[in-house]
Amino acid sequence: MEPHEALAELMHLSSQIEDVAIVGGSGFVLAASGAPERGEQLARVASELLAAAGDVRPSADVSRIEVSLGATSVFVVAEGGRLAVATTVAEPTAGLVVYDLRTALRRLDEEPAPKPPGKKRKDADA
């Protein structure tokens, strides 16, 4: 599935996510819910949070970060060499947000659904 499709599906399904960016392994924003600048900002926040978490637990791979900021929360989920970073409404259901972000990342690895065969048009001149 294309990143923009996975992002659109995520935004449609999750009422708790306000902003989200899907980031590739190189740090490049693959898709973002807002302006490109906002996607870049979320990617930087995710990178900084992952670095800080790595400092706290240097012997472990960090695959999930949640930061509660009162009026909003920030989630970072890393999987398959990519990550999703999202801001949410106040007091989100953390498990559901993480599930939704992981699902969006996993959907990127799915092959696109085949298009149903269309009707063949008859040539009007025949």
DSSP 57: S
Match 């590739």 to its residue by tokens: 24
Percent of the chain surpassing pLDDT 70: 88
82, 108 contact by CB (below 8 A): yes
User: pLDDT averaged over the chain?
Assistant: 90
79, 54 contact by CB (below 8 A): no
pTM: 0.85
DSSP 23: E
Q: Give residue-wise pLDDT tens across range 62-95.
A: 899 999 998 999 999 999 899 999 999 999 999 9
Give the model's pLDDT for residue 60. Answer: 80
Nearest residue to 31 via CA among 20, 42, 22, 18 = 22
Nearest residue to 41 via CA among 11, 62, 21 = 21
Write down all domains in the chain, each with its CATH number in brackets: 3-107 (3.30.450.30)
